[in-house]
A and B are shown apart, each in its own frame.
Chain A
Amino acid sequence: MGKIVKVSGPLVVADGLADANMFDVVRVGSQRLIGEIIEMRGDKASIQVYEETSGLGPGDEVATTGAPLSVELGPGLIEMIYDGIQRPLEAIKAVAGDVIDRGIEVPSISRERTWEFQAKVAVGDTVQAGDLLGTVQETVVVEHRILVPNGVGGVVKKIGSGSFTVAETICVLEVNGVETPLTMMQKWPVRVGRPYKEKIPPNVPMLTGQRTIDTLFPIAKGGTAAVPGPFGSGKTVVQHQLAKWSDVDIVVYIGCGERGNEMTDVLREFPEIKDPRTGESLMKRTVLIANTSDMPVAAREASIYTGITIAEYFRDMGYDVAVIADSTSRWAEALREMSGRLEEMPGEEGYPAYLASRMAQFYERAGRVYTNNSGERIGSVTAVGAVSPPGGDLSEPVSQATMRIVKVFWALDSALAYRRHFPAINWLNSYSLYLDRLSGWFDENINPAYSAQRGRAMAILQNEAELDEIVRLVGVDSLSPADRLTMEVARHIREDFLQQDAFGEVDAYSPNQRQFRLLQIVLNYQDWSAEAMERGADMKKLFELPALEEFGQTKFVPTEEYEETYNRIEKDLKAQIAALTGGEG
């Protein structure tokens, strides 16, 4: 039992804690606030407290729990909204009302709720860590696979299907002659990555239904991506879109130091939206971690780890999981605040010197892996983090540290946002290093011309940027007809392809075949027009074809009808272009 000697904001120093270990969870004061030891000197421990510390003073007691900060893993995670240290916010609301008071203790996973457990092994089977014991249908879409916990293995002595709570024994294993009872719940320390057998290179795309992302800058399952952008550029909307439409099995959405209303938005909206793949509500595959900006700063630091640990748990079941963190900058600020209170020597802009390594550790927990079990099972964790650079300046430490690690960079641009070009992903600054790895998949599964078409579209956009400079200097009339056509086609790519309305009923999610066709029509238009211009067609008329106008409206065409409409418009285009040269077809 230790005693507090110093309180400074979320940092508490206590002595008499010789028995405690680094990173142990401790209980502070009479309200038993939750804290974590982050530094030890002699028997003095520096503790970051996950709750507001008003009213604490020297002499108050501190007790160690002897265990590191851990999350509870088991059926009952899906559809939950947790704070940064996995306390269920709905349950807190039931206890404390509309505000989050201090010293509230509620279990992370309901101990009362029962689950139908379906045993998948028989008595006498030998199992090792990570092997499947049985399943629970947690929600309509998520089959929760109960695995042998890490570090355990042996012969099944007792197992049976039936109705259980997470605290009841579902199975007894004989481990080296000792009978070990197992429940459906396990604990795992958040700061330690869950083990796996082997990482494998990510070569399957995570499809998002977002045209700019899937076509121009795709991300792989198991990959890492960052979404940097100044405020108002639509970071959160992009993150929400990814959480809504990505073709993964589980989404863990971490609202880390962001707005409370954004989490409310997710909470209210996700249950209403249907997953285009399963037809079920999106909430049925989502876990939310909400540590909003007004909640204690130390818990914000923990929220990222809580989220990725839950993601790894589902990965181990063989699922594709996406972790979406909004925003890693706020997490870095929490690190900075604690570092400042610890009086550490600051690095750049007051951030601690270990900022980059901590970020790298987080992102490196993403990946596509052979999971830890006797058979061959593949799961993935894809990590996407928003970055909020002060003033939109990417030279600041958090952006720089992120760029060094992540493989996909969707740079949001306030200039595009002002023009209401959404998603405001700047096609000239963004990149995806998975392009080569994924092009094979796209060419095989969507269309053999997929990558070639993508390359062509990028070249046109690049070309437009160069031509644009000339236009700004000497005017559009100075361009050759061919260049005018490039500008016009680039405009169609921007307006008709890249711009996507996240709130449009149809446009919010664009299937990949449709994306391909849309771009194909634009590029065909370029080919046919170039040809027609050579044969003397009037440029102005080419740019004002009636079919183009209709083409601009195709975003509203429902998914079932798009093929037909696209075919018709394409035919019209061809005919109208041909008519300009007097020829047929």
Chain B
Amino acid sequence: MMKEYRTIQEVAGPLMLVRDVEGVTYNELGEIELPNGTRRRCKVLEVNGSDALVQLFESAAGINLRDSKVRFFGRSLELAVSQDMLGRVFDGLGNPSDGGPDILPDARRDINGLPMNPAARDYPNEFIQTGVSSIDGLNTLVRGQKLPIFSGSGLPHANLAAQIARQAKVLGGESNFAVVFAAIGITFEEAEFFISDFRRTGAIDRTVLFINLASDPAIERIATPRVALTAAEYLAFDKGMHVLTILTDITNYAEALREVSAARKEVPGRRGYPGYLYTDLATMYERAGRRIGNAGSITMIPILSMPEDDKTHPIPDLTGYITEGQIILSRELYRKNLQPPVDVLPSLSRLKDKGIGKGKTREDHANTMNQLFASYARGKECKELMTILGEAALTDVDKKYAKFADEFERRYVSQGYEENRSIDDTLRIGWELLTILPKAELKRIKPEFVEKYYPDTEE
């Protein structure tokens, strides 16, 4: 018989102190039964002698200290997993919320997972074609990578993420593909955008949705991404699927974490976020990857909105230190009506070098990529100079660079959300743009590639 405690000493914010407990262990899952029979879940944050400090996953409203009962389950929060999850919608704690039946579990998994052995990891090096030039050409995504989108309020990150989910494919690859989507404290409309986009393209049948909306309890959000990743791990490593995991919005998650930390009166790190935010985020992000001898993979695209578009804010900052690059959306480009407004210079894919080149994309990919980057950077500098000093101050070459930068943004970056470019298209457009510059400026491209790929011009 499971022991019930009626010894709730205090409830403050998301925390609750239970007295005189016995045999309760750290990180254990518990349940509170309210006088009216409602049950809510919680977990043990700290045990000190016979006191248990418990974190609620749901609202504390209605908890009566005298009459509410607490039970502990002797295990941590688990998710029932099965392949039948595909096509279903769940709440932020993993309970079905689409009116359908419960999942007949194939297994129950601890939502916290276990750290992947670095010796068991397989290095991600399979090119994923997203059909977006600014990603495929310059910040290439590979299977098993975690590549976040750094966005800001009001920027079209949802469109870009949906476009990637829709278009992503491996060249000549099979289609054992699934999407795990976790909505973490986003609005109904934003969640609805994704769902209707998945439905429109038929992807919904291969998608598992975990929805914690802005109106749902904030502390539930601490579990949502972990629940989603547990489902992703099951599909990827037990069922051999290639899972694209989209987590949006990490900023809401971090704020929920801050709420709990503040309630525990922990010494805060930067901007009131707990000192362990890095470790906490890492235990989520690092669950992406591939394993040696396993067909499946988890590719992760976390989306986060940078408060005040500030990249040095702790959430984007710590995320950038863990993830393998970042795609940054720029408000300036968005105002110029470039779609998607990917700011390619500060964007980065750390794994691109392993996913491109001969046999993967094309032999000249790396060289042209570097050349485009360098030329665009110089072009932007020239344009800056032009605004200060006027066009006359620029040398002829610099003027060409300025023109290059404009054309690059217009043709290469701004492709809209519907166009699906093959990697060959992307490379071709890149070469066409490079013809704006004098041939001698193509210093980063091996001469033999210039010879082979330089487009014929009329001159």
Contacts of A6 in B (CB 8 A): 46-49
Contact B115–A99 (Cβ < 8 Å): yes
Q: What are the interface flags for B296-339 relative to A under an 8 Å C-beta threshold, 1 for contact and 0 otherwise?
A: 00000000000000011110011011101110000000000000
With the chains together, A259 CA to B373 CA distance in Å? 26
B257 within 8 A of A: no
Which residue of the partner chain, among B117, B268, B389, contacts A475 with CB atoms under 8 Å?
Answer: B389
Bound Cα distance from A264 to B291, whole angstroms? 10
Contact, CB under 8 Å: A261 / B123: yes
Q: Which of A119-127, A291-299, A438-446, A559-567 contacts B (4 or more CB under 8 A)?
A: A291-299
Check if B245 is an interface residue, CB within 8 A of chain A.
Answer: no
Q: Is the interface of A mostly helix, strand, loop or mixed?
A: mixed
Name the contact of B118 in the complex, choosing from A81, A334, A388 (C-beta under 8 A): A81
Residue from A99, A296, A334, A391 in contact with B113 in the complex, judged by beta carbons closer than 8 Å: A99
Task: Report, as a range, how many residues of chain A touch the other chain.
Answer: 35 or more
Contact B267 A346 (CB under 8 A): yes
Shortest Cβ distance from residue A3 to the other chain B in the assembled complex, whole angstroms: 11
Judging by beta carbons under 8 Å apart, are A475 and B393 in contact? yes
Are the CB atoms of A7 and B322 closer together than 8 Å? no
Asked if residues B120 and A257 are in contact (CB atoms below 8 Å), the reply is no
- A5–B123 CA distance with the chains assembled, in angstroms: 43
Interfacial chain B residues near A56, Cβ < 8 Å:
25-26
Asked if A100 and B115 make an inter-chain contact with CB atoms under 8 angstroms apart, the answer reads: yes
Q: Which of A57, A96, A255, A349 contacts B24 (CB 8 A)?
A: A57
Please count how many residues in chain B sit with their CB below 8 Å of the partner chain's CB atoms.
Answer: 79
Q: A56-B26, A57-B24, A232-B320 are in contact. Are A294 and B116 (CB under 8 A)?
A: yes
Closest beta carbon of chain B to A389's beta carbon, Å: 9
A469 CB, nearest partner CB in chain B, Å: 13
Q: Is A325 an interface residue (CB 8 A)?
A: no
Question: In the complex, how many angstroms separate the beta carbon of B379 from the nearest chain A beta carbon?
Answer: 11
List residues of A (125-151) whose CB comes within 8 Å of B's CBs: none
The distance from the CB of A330 to the nearest CB of chain B, in whole angstroms, is: 7
Residue of A nearest to B277 (CB): A333
**Mask for B74-105, Cβ within 8 A of A = 1, else 0?**
00100000000000000000000000000000
CB contacts under 8 Å to B, within A313-350, are: 330, 333-334, 336-337, 340, 346, 349-350
Q: Is the CB of A8 within 8 A of B393?
A: no
Interface residues in A92-125 (C-beta closer than 8 Å to B): 92-93, 96-101
Closest to A57 in B: B25
Contact flag A8-B46 (CB < 8 Å), given A293-B322, A333-B278, A472-B385: yes
Residues of B within 8 A of A (CB): 23-28, 45-50, 76, 110, 112-124, 144, 237, 266-270, 275-276, 278-279, 282-283, 286-287, 289, 291-292, 294, 311-314, 317-318, 320-322, 324-326, 345-346, 348, 351, 353-354, 366, 370, 373-374, 377-378, 385, 388-389, 393, 395, 440, 443, 446-447
CB pairs A–B below 8 angstroms (27 shown): A6-B49, A52-B114, A55-B27, A57-B24, A57-B28, A89-B119, A90-B119, A93-B117, A98-B120, A99-B113, A99-B117, A231-B321, A259-B322, A263-B118, A264-B118, A264-B121, A264-B123, A265-B354, A267-B119, A292-B118, A293-B286, A294-B287, A350-B268, A390-B318, A393-B312, A475-B385, A476-B395
The 8 closest A-B pairs by CB, nearest first: A391-B312, A293-B282, A57-B25, A294-B286, A54-B27, A231-B320, A99-B114, A7-B26
Given contacts A391-B312, A419-B373, 20 further A-B contacts (CB under 8 A): A5-B48, A6-B47, A8-B26, A56-B26, A58-B47, A92-B117, A97-B120, A98-B237, A98-B291, A99-B115, A230-B317, A231-B320, A259-B324, A260-B121, A261-B324, A294-B282, A336-B269, A350-B275, A475-B389, A477-B393
